[in-house]
Amino acid sequence: MLIVAWSLLSTHALAASPANRGGRRVVWTEIRVVARQKRPELERFLKEVVESQTRKADWGGGRGGEPLEARFQVTEFDVVQKSDVVRVICTAVGRIQGAPSVRSHFSMGGRPAQRAELERQLLTMLGRGIVSRLAVIARVTHKGSSSSTGS
């Protein structure tokens, strides 16, 4: 229940943000899923989610400045299946160069037949949460630097 509420909050916060037209450009230097088995389809899906959320997020002003360099890494991705339940456990870290990092962790269970859907759902939640939190950090960091130069 808590995860659903947080997910709705994140979705609402991103939907309320203006599109990243004319704002700061974000360059993702790394988007990676570290898993026990190589899963390129999950990495491709995560890249799509992160790029989509990047376009929706408000990264602050600064049209002519340097682009923001960011990284996103899923540091833990485990799938545990017992007889009638599959549990997906994910941890991810995001970072903008020169700013604090953010971390999210989710664990969710479901029916084994819905494993792929559950994996994508958790990666979507991680992508939305981390990108939106990094955008807030970028806006706050940019405000602080522009107000000190305006004096």
Q: Render pLDDT for 76-112 as a digit per residue (tens, 0 to 9).
A: 999 999 989 999 999 999 999 989 999 999 999 999 9
pTM of the model: 0.77
pLDDT range class, residue 62, cuts 50, 70, 90: low
pLDDT class of 37 with cuts at 50, 70, 90: confident
Task: Spell out the domains of the chain, with CATH numbers in brackets.
Answer: 2-140 (3.40.50.10610)
Is it the case that residue 17 has pLDDT exceeding 90? no
| pLDDT, tens digit (0-9, with 9 covering 90-100), for 130-150 | 999 999 999 888 664 544 444
Q: What is the CA radius of gyration of the chain?
A: 17
Give the ranges where the chain is alpha helix by DSSP (H): 2-16, 40-56, 115-149
pLDDT score at 36: 73
- Token couple for 4: 């659903």
CA angle 91, 93, 97 (to 5 degrees): 175
Whether residue 6 is predicted with pLDDT greater than 50 in this model: the reply is no
Per-residue tokens: 1: 């229940």
* Residue partners of 131: CB distance under 8 A and separation at least 6: 14, 50, 53, 54, 57, 72, 94
Looking at per-residue pLDDT, the higher value among 1 and 38 belongs to 38
Q: How many CA atoms lie within 13 A of 151 on its CB side?
A: 5
pLDDT score for 121:
96
In degrees to the nearest 10, what's the CA dihedral of 129, 132, 135, 137?
-50
Listing from the earlier edge strand, what are the strands of the sheet with 68-82? 26-33, 68-82, 85-96, 101-110
Mean pLDDT rounded to a whole number for the chain: 81
